[in-house]
Structure 1
Amino acid sequence: MRIVVDENVSYSVVLRLREKGHKVVSIAKEKKSTSDKDIFHLVLEEEAILITRDYHFTNPILYSPNKTEGIIYIRIGNLRSDEEVKIVERFFANYSPEQFKGKLVTLYRNSVHIR
């Protein structure tokens, strides 16, 4: 899978996804301080999944998930890096890309909401 990881997500998530063989663009390391609009255009160009903690990406008028491979929004307050990695890994272990393509996914500590 092609995945764009926003700069507000732990870099440990990027490393783990790369270990699993995914093509990952890290905004924090490769495109720091990129605007939300430009991140969204990158997601569209790359035909990638976006993983973010930025609430702005949950606005379907500005950032329509149905144009993407999926937007994954981590909606959990303070997390250690290892906790964030586990939550993302658990999601990918339980859901195939077809189940969330074009959708907004909200990850909570113990649940997932796909719309």
Structure 2
Amino acid sequence: MNEPTAPISFDDFLKVELRVGRIVDAYPFKEARKPAYVLHVDFGEAIGVRKSSAQITGLYQPEELIGKLVVAVVNFPRKQIGPLMSECLVTGFHDADGNVALCVPDQSVPLGTRLL
């Protein structure tokens, strides 16, 4: 996954709706095959709160995630993951040990702000 992929057009990029949300709840996803948390992410009034499964247990504890701003894809189709219906994809990067570090804004921005 370290190799660049084929180029895409700007119009292709615009199809991916990356938005800022705030984690308002986080707890272990006990039914997941791989260690994961269930996240409830608030994207503001227009989008609301959406759920996601995130395999970020290597670097984060649930209580430290509450209040954290994250970047997520909000226009993927909903996906059933065990008993959870995932409604967004929270983004992150693998570190050298394979743990996922969340993709986060380094400044406060309004909930629901789209990455462009």
| TM-score normalised by the chain length of structure 2 | 0.29
Considering Cα pairs closer than 8 Å and 6+ residues apart, tell me whether 1 or 2 has the greater RCO: 2
Larger radius of gyration: 2
Structure with greater strand percent: 2
Q: Which has the higher helix share?
A: 1
